[in-house]
Amino acid sequence: MEFLYQLAIDESVGVRWRFNGLVPRRETFEQSLWSGVLTQFIVAERQTGACLGTVTAYNADLNHGYAYVAAAMIADATGSGVGIEAVDLFLGYLFACYRLRKLYFEVPEYNLAQFASALTWFRDEGTLVDHTYFDGRLWDRKILALYRQDYEGIAKSGQALGRRRRNG
């Protein structure tokens, strides 16, 4: 719980994650941690077990077969590939364990560069124009979707970064 709270209030991470830079009271944070969440995991370093981030599936509609996915990593993990690998593993888990046909990612423009290597995985399903205020301006928010059949094709082809790392 302490790691997640520190991640949420970290000035380099918090603006890109759940509370969008607001600093919630600890009690509020703890009470809301599972609100609307289907499942979530801590991302940990394999050898040391050090906490690196979190992956979350939320706002799931299992009747219609979709959920939203979010990830947040500590600043030191940014650009290392750990985040993409963790998300890849999480996506495989979600498609294996739940009857989901697609997963949504709502991404402010300023976050797109953080996972540029994986953008080809997703279908662009829309843009909320001038939707998110950050750093003195309004940014578009992209709505990206990953369909089950697309993910299965990516995984079989070896393009999924996490799978390539684990297998080779």
Q: What is the pLDDT of residue 127?
A: 98
Residues whose CB falls within 8 Å of the CB of residue 26, separated by 6 or more in sequence, listed in order: 5
Q: What is the pLDDT of residue 162?
A: 54
The string of DSSP codes covering 19-50 is TTT----HHHHHHHTTTTEEEEEEEE-TTT--
pLDDT at 149 over 80: yes
Residues whose CB falls within 8 Å of the CB of residue 10, separated by 6 or more in sequence, listed in order: 74, 75
> Domain extents for the chain?
2-167
May I ask the CATH class of domain 2-167? alpha beta
Q: What is the pLDDT of residue 143?
A: 96
Q: pTM of the entire structure?
A: 0.85
pLDDT at 3 over 70: yes
Q: What is the pLDDT of residue 92?
A: 94
pLDDT in tens, 6-65: 888 777 776 666 777 677 788 888 888 888 999 999 999 888 999 999 999 999 999 999
pLDDT in tens, 105-116: 999 998 888 777
